[in-house]
Structure 1
């Protein structure tokens, strides 16, 4: 049976840190222990600043720890779109920022002799339909306009009937957690302080310095606050709940009969398929990813893993699935991340979010931009990434579409009448049920114990749905996720679901507000 953990976390020695138990102060407080927060901390410690990094869970257990770890500027079909919407200069800046991030990662790996399986690889987009093949031809024209090295190819070395493929030369892949744990070591050796299981819930902007407030009642004051917590724990006036959308996707790490031919691959047709290799105890495994969908929406999540396994058997002769995991990514209205002041005119609080599925380069580029803000250095990327931007085309159309989706799911959840009964739940099974005339979420664990929660998300009140693949309650509106006991797994929600106690006499009582 496959290990239900990311390959990366099972094959890296990740240090542990204590919870913050007192008030503190620093030059900069960083919230979020993923690639952006850790890279920014590394850069600022090197610059001689006093850094405190706060992580709500454990380091590298969020999106960074659940990636496919492709270090590439080939972020699906985007460059023709960027040229059309924003102009050639903006498209070129985006490519430049991500290419510089790749080069910096390689330089850092070489400078510190980090054993993280860093390898240069060509990256490929492939099309299996005539319509997508034509899009790749247009994208190749954009590559040529921007000076991106690559080319169109008629085949790829897999049993996949493609019509066209587009290569971007000399990209890379690595083991992200082996790389980042080395940066963590440099941070702590340089005097940076890291605290885990420390949830930031708000900021206090009174006075000359800004304080990050934690759920346990502590505060850390600093001149600057960097919000690198995937979904911003503090939104200011940025309305990020309306300007970010959450998607889930799935990965398998498997042993295959067919040897891997090299390169990194991504389909441009649906359902999405991603391929790359990885070294595991001297042997080569294949990471198969894809099956993207909106969080909290769609079919039984276990079917996504099954679809990837079927694909792996057909294309690579997958023999054994060693690891399987899922991840959550946030996208912006125009596909470019938000990096900079959380609200225009609020320079003491900076955010970085919205990397879609390309956090290895975009997260690194964001960390450099945040460091440039803190150190007051010139950079060509401020306007490109500024969170306050709003381009009517395509942002307005996307904003209307995403918020219509939110309203539809809010209404649907309130009107839905579950037909599953509590007694129907087998061990290790969860479902939305009607109990005492009310919509509730129920999970019967492997020992037979029932866990019942209110299904109303504590963010804006949408109704969560059961995710059987991860045993979580997922919100279809803004992507909040909760454990089967109701605890927050992923924001923007900050408060847990209300828990209930149920006895065999069909009596339902609160176990407390949960707040």
Structure 2
């Protein structure tokens, strides 16, 4: 099957940075947050340089389900309990404004990106979660959100209850962002691909250092790399956890009934559609789990999604498959703002909890306002330095106990033999006191790597579905031969020669 449907189009290429530069704002990360930040800043006459480690839009942005919605799962009842009515209203309003921005921009530039209003529907077949839906519906009423409880959805999927949020939207993210990239260039912005930022220094200017030893000097830096490649003693590693989810693109013998759906039971399932080459492609997502943590060695999320789709969606053909990763903060609200108080002109946007289409718009506007010294009503809500006794303390202990468990478990949970390893399987074993990950490919070639993550030293675990070594602590991922796939790590795993 193809990979992501959003990347099944032509996207402009850019050269690597091969000289040192000076600019007003350096943006690290070429996904939707970085691109929209560069667009908004350049629209205001600010010089920008955008650096992307790989290719633009090929990270999380190119592997989303692209729902443009303020319905972020079961969240508003919880936010009301922890943050009160005023802050929860601000969260909802910021998401509504983000949706409106995408709609207005699409209309202004006549972008053919399939922006289309759709209702967003949560559903459950659990009595326990049915109560949660009712509590969420009550939160909708307090927030004046247009929605209601329903007792059916247009699929044969078993359910007890559903909750609709009316007049949400979906779109084709890369078709939309291609136009934004063109506008950045028209405004004089500079974009570089295959350019890895590895560190930040502070002198008269902020210096972004790259792996090829070229530097970009600027007054401000935006870190839009999903997980901050530079933490600056802000300890984001202890304040978020990574999780992966999976998507299949299929055609069905049925007509798509409309709407965007999310099952709140476990495992969660997501359903929406997109038009592609005169076909209606259904996007079935789900099987989320913490990165690098698998219930069993032969876990195959794609197989499980196919089983669900075959049972309930009258599948005609499977056409696409991809996966994605995102981070969740302690209180489920993204961190957007100054990295820390010591360096207020370095900014971060992270922790979107899989709702990156609207949160990225919120982040781009907020960061633009901060850089231009403008007021923004959402500054305090999203500021990274916030800390709330409840739920932050409980979540902090829970997340970091999990990291500690995985760190220790990875050092001890290894096997001793690989001679009888079957093709297309992997194991970890101890060798001279070192944990080695060994993968035998389908041609019986053996690939061995030191599975110690090059970020902070956790032991990576094997992901059979994607043939990768994944870090269970902070989400770095590496291919079977140790090549880095995604950060926060910036260095490959070390290869091991088993003959020596």
Q: Tell whether the structures are fold-level matches, with TM greater than 0.5.
A: yes
After superposition, residues 465-484 of structure 1 pair within 5 angstroms as 465-484=461-480
Partner of 2:185: 188
> Is the 8 Å Cα contact of residues 422 and 433 (structure 1) preserved in structure 2?
no
After superposition, residues 425-504 of structure 1 pair within 5 angstroms as 425-426=422-423, 428-435=424-431, 438-502=434-498
1:234 counterpart = 2:230:
yes
Partner of 1:9: 7
Partner of 1:370: 367
Alignment match of 1:42 (pick from 39, 42, 51): 39
Alignment match of 1:63 (pick from 44, 60, 65): 60
1:172 counterpart = 2:169:
yes
Distance in 1, Cα, partners of 2:427 & 2:314: 35
Alignment match of 1:218 (pick from 210, 214, 218): 214
Distance in 2, Cα, partners of 1:306 & 1:435: 34
Partner of 1:267: 263
Partner of 2:141: 144
After superposition, residues 189-338 of structure 1 pair within 5 angstroms as 189-207=186-204, 209-298=205-294, 299-300=296-297, 303-338=300-335
CA shift digits 1:256-306 (9 cap, x unpaired): 122210000001110100000111111111100001100001134752111
- Deviation above 6 Å: which 4+ runs of structure 1? none
Partner of 1:405: 402
Distance in 1, Cα, partners of 2:81 & 2:130: 19
- For residue 237 of structure 1, report the CA deviation from its aligned partner: 2.1
SS of aligned partner of 1:237: coil
> Is the 8 Å Cα contact of residues 300 and 464 (structure 2) preserved in structure 1?
no
SS of aligned partner of 2:496: strand
> Is the 8 Å Cα contact of residues 241 and 492 (structure 1) preserved in structure 2?
no
> Is the 8 Å Cα contact of residues 421 and 440 (structure 2) preserved in structure 1?
no
Distance in 2, Cα, partners of 1:239 & 1:118: 38
1:74 counterpart = 2:71:
yes
CA shift digits 1:351-402 (9 cap, x unpaired): 0000011000001110110111111111100000000001110011011001
Q: Which runs of 5+ in 2 are unaligned?
A: none
- For residue 42 of structure 1, report the CA deviation from its aligned partner: 0.5
Distance in 1, Cα, partners of 2:365 & 2:183: 17
Closer/same/farther in 2, CA of residues 300 and 60 from structure 1, 3 Å limit: farther
> Is the 8 Å Cα contact of residues 450 and 495 (structure 2) preserved in structure 1?
yes
Closer/same/farther in 2, CA of residues 251 and 300 from structure 1, 3 Å limit: farther
SS of aligned partner of 1:500: coil
SS of aligned partner of 1:501: coil
- For residue 433 of structure 1, report the CA deviation from its aligned partner: 3.5
Per mean C-alpha deviation after superposition, the further-off stretch among 320-329 and 410-419 is 410-419
SS of aligned partner of 2:497: strand
Distance in 1, Cα, partners of 2:72 & 2:490: 31
Alignment match of 2:152 (pick from 144, 151, 155): 155
Distance in 2, Cα, partners of 1:67 & 1:168: 20
After superposition, residues 326-405 of structure 1 pair within 5 angstroms as 326-405=323-402
TM-score normalized by structure 2? 0.98
Distance in 2, Cα, partners of 1:418 & 1:222: 49
SS of aligned partner of 2:439: strand
